[in-house]
């Protein structure tokens, strides 16, 4: 390990250890080591597929069968993946409630962690449930600001429903329909040109404003509003720790950038001993 990387890790651990409120923003890179393809870069989904054909309301109106075929393929791919060491370390970090040092030397307070993810793969939730065991996984459950591959909602009335185990995409007639109004169901993910769920976004930004530290893992920071979360933390006096093997537009603003894969970096950055006080 280079001296620079060692210094970055030590600095990042200090910033996270000293934070009472932590907001975490994750992107496709945290799931890369689980075998889930990212969107941009080599092997990225948007290199082989056109988003405008598959991930817009217009594409669904034009050819719902094709859109469902793509999402059914992604569901089956992700179903075969499991959370990696990065998801697991983050889940444990969010579930632990150690006392963090109080502000300006004041009394210690309990650390709170809010996990915000752009991922629709459900791997944070699976890691949270695994890490919690018989305890409550809620503190480690993420705000899924781009929705979830594993829920559906009605394309007309908006009613939500759990995703069925399989979808027959052979014909439009076999696609799933809303139990309430009979219109076609669609995956409950946010498509290009669609608004994010206001309540979820508000909770994410409130956490970013209050955070002493924002940990940003595996995102190209190109898609807003998610990419604005660390900027909001910086504007409110917090620090930003980035974990990404590549340089991103956030790198020059980040307090520290750890150039490592999430599965290697997070267990070290978030490992209990360094962070307990
Ligand atoms: P991207 O595919 O744009 O970026 C993935 C990032 O992960 C890149 O910066 C990589 O360098 C980094 N990366 C790759 N492997 C990694 C690893 N093992 N550990 C850590 N980092 C790694 O994915 P997102 O930034 O998540 O939106 O993309 C944002 C949004 O764009 C997605 O949520 C999706 C997409 O269009 C919607 O579908 C609405």
275 and 209 fall within a common domain: yes
The CATH number of the domain holding residue 75 is 3.30.1600.10
174 and 247 fall within a common domain: no
44 and 123 fall within a common domain: no
Q: Is 267 in the pocket of ligand 1 (CB under 6 A)?
A: no
pLDDT in tens, 165-215: 899 999 999 999 999 999 999 999 999 999 999 999 999 999 999 999 999
Average pLDDT over residues 249-254: 98
pLDDT in tens, 41-87: 888 888 888 888 899 999 999 999 999 999 999 999 999 999 999 99
Name the residue of 36, 39, 193, 226 whose CB sits within 8 Å of the most ligand 1 atoms, as the mutation to test its pocket. Answer: 39
Q: How confident is the model at residue 275 (pLDDT cuts 50, 70, 90)?
A: very low
Domain with 68 in it: 37-80+149-189
With the C-alpha atoms ordered 276, 30, 199, 178, is the resulting torsion angle positive or negative? negative
Q: Is 246 in the pocket of ligand 1 (CB under 6 A)?
A: yes
20 and 95 fall within a common domain: yes
26 and 52 fall within a common domain: no
Q: Is 118 in the pocket of ligand 1 (CB under 6 A)?
A: yes
270 and 174 fall within a common domain: no
131 and 163 fall within a common domain: no
Q: Is 219 in the pocket of ligand 1 (CB under 6 A)?
A: yes
Average pLDDT over residues 113-120: 98
Q: Within a 10 A sphere around the Cβ of 186, how many other Cβ atoms? A: 21
Cα(1) to centroid of ligand 1, in Å? 25
- Residue 243, token pair as written in the block: 């974990």
pLDDT in the model for residue 109: 73
216 and 123 fall within a common domain: yes
pLDDT at 274 over 60: no
- Residue 32, token pair as written in the block: 């890369």
Tell me the C-alpha distance between 46 and 54, whole Å. Answer: 10
Q: Domains in the chain: how many in total? A: 2
Q: Which of 124, 151, 114 is CA-nearest to residue 24?
A: 114
271 and 211 fall within a common domain: yes
Average pLDDT over residues 243-265: 97
Q: Output the average pLDDT for the chain.
A: 93
């Amino acid at each position: 390990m280079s001296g620079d990387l060692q210094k970055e890790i030590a600095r990042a651990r200090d910033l996270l250890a000293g934070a009472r409120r932590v907001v975490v923003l994750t992107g496709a890179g945290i799931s890369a080591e689980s075998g889930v393809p990212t969107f941009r870069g080599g092997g990225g989904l948007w290199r082989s597929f056109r988003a405008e054909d598959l991930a817009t309301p217009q594409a669904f109106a034009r050819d719902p069968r094709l859109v469902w075929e793509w999402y059914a393929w992604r569901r089956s791919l992700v179903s075969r993946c499991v959370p990696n060491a990065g998801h697991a370390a983050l889940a444990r970090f969010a579930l632990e409630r150690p006392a963090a040092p109080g502000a300006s030397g004041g009394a210690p307070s309990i650390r709170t962690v809010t996990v915000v993810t752009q991922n629709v793969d459900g791997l944070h939730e699976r890691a949270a449930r695994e890490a919690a065991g018989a305890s409550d996984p809620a503190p480690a459950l993420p705000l899924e600001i781009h929705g979830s591959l594993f829920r559906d909602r009605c394309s007309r009335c908006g009613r939500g429903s759990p995703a069925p185990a399989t979808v027959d995409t052979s014909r439009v007639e076999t696609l799933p329909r809303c139990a309430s109004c009979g219109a076609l169901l669609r995956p409950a993910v946010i498509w290009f040109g669609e608004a994010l769920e206001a309540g979820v976004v508000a909770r994410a930004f409130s956490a970013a404003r209050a955070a002493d530290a924002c940990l940003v893992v595996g995102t190209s920071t190109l898609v807003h509003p998610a990419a604005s979360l660390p900027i909001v933390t910086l504007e409110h006096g917090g620090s930003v720790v980035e974990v990404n093997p590549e340089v991103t537009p956030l790198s020059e603003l980040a307090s520290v950038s750890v150039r490592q894969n999430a599965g290697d970096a997070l267990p070290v950055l978030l490992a209990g001993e360094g962070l307990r006080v």
